[in-house]
Amino acid sequence: MSENSAPLLVITGPTGIGKTELAMALSDQAPLALISADSVMVYQDLDIGSAKPSPIELAQYPHALVDIVPLSIHLMRVSLYCMLRRPLQKRGMRE
């Protein structure tokens, strides 16, 4: 790891097992950038069945890449994800 690199913690698992709750609890203990890589949470207005954090949780624990793609974009492609992550890289956030 280079001097400018920050450690990267990745939490994985199936929907509904508490990944988001764990990430929020960890961010209470240390300054973390929470970045969702969920294929459903990225879509706006697709809240049911996604285990998406509540608006209150998102206000307290901001997550990058949540609620940013309109449902009118039916196919989330790798190229679109790469475009969406560019602002995160500019802010120094890691994926």
**Cα 74 to Cα 76: distance, rounded to the nearest angstrom:** 7
Q: What is the pTM of this model?
A: 0.70
In-domain check, residue 30: yes
In-domain check, residue 46: yes
So what's the pLDDT on residue 76? Answer: 61
Place of tokens 């969406």: 84
Q: How many domains does the chain have?
A: 1
Task: Write the CATH number for 38.
Answer: 3.40.50.300
The pLDDT tens digits of the residues spanning 18-44 come to 999 999 999 999 988 898 888 888 888
Residue type, 67: D
Q: How confident is the model at residue 52 (pLDDT cuts 50, 70, 90)?
A: confident
Q: Which residue has the higher pLDDT, 86 or 27?
A: 27
Within 10 angstroms of residue 55's Cβ, the number of other Cβ atoms is 10
Structural domain span for residue 31: 19-90
In-domain check, residue 12: no
So what's the pLDDT on residue 93? Answer: 53
Q: Which structure tokens are listed for 63?
A: 């997550």
**Cα 37 to Cα 10: distance, rounded to the nearest angstrom:** 10
